Amino acid sequence: MNQTELERPVGLSGPRTGGHEDGDPESGAPDNSRGPGRGRRVRIDVEQLSKIGPVIVVGRHGKPALSRKIFLDAAGYEDWWEQYDAGGLAEGQRAPSRLTRVVAACKHVIASPLRRAVETARSAAPGRELEINDLFVEAPLPPPLFPTFIRLRPRSWGAVARLSWWLGFHREFESREEAEARAELAAGHLIAAAEQHGSVALLAHGWFNRMIRTVLLRRGFVCLRNGGDWHWSFRVYVRGR
């Protein structure tokens, strides 16, 4: 049997308007919502748990290769983000054992089509067949068109762009409302896959994962493990009783 050690109880808060760029701790305060039982551990057998009800694991990609140690104007940040989406992970990384163990226990593995997510999935689930699905790409981060003399680091642009996008300034990109509708579809897809296979793992992106989280909680799932939004982090959901 595949076993992994999960923390519980955990916090059940959803996305926050001041959240991280792509769920990135470098762009805001880290998500420490692990609840009053932080540090308490229980042994959970994912295969056994899936016999009781569907299990959903939602993880974030590893650390990307693209440098953040630069200052950019708004147009420069938009170009930087395109490179970020096209790029992969920084060299010398491998999925942590706690992630590979829980993904190995899942019967189906899904990844966002973006390179950093696919490389993460291949590291966390070596040799496994992957479902690559556009539903799970990150919500966009169009920067507000500030004057060119305003130059910020990517982490700061990420926070500014996410807040601007959350408030409705999406320009020609996917809006918050459209992303929320996509999150509904994405959560439904995960639930259907978990019901079909017993368990499913998704490797995708910080902010959109948090949007999916809100839908899963509303649909009656509970979070047994809240690993936050750091690179290689993951959360585990089961249907509440």
DSSP 87-124: --BPTT----HHHHHHHHT-SEEEE-SSHHHHHHHHHH
pTM: 0.82
Per-residue pLDDT of 43-68, as tens digits, reads: 556 665 565 689 999 999 999 999 88
pLDDT at position 45 is 61
Delineate the domains of the chain, giving CATH numbers in brackets: 3-63+95-137+175-239 (3.40.50)
In eight-state DSSP terms, residue 9 is S
74 burial via Cβ count (<10 Å: 0-12, 13-18, 19+): buried
pLDDT at position 12 is 29
pLDDT at position 240 is 83
Share of the chain above pLDDT 70, in %: 78
Per-residue pLDDT of 127-153, as tens digits, reads: 999 999 999 999 999 999 999 999 999
Per-residue pLDDT of 75-123, as tens digits, reads: 999 999 999 999 999 999 999 999 999 999 999 999 999 999 999 999 9
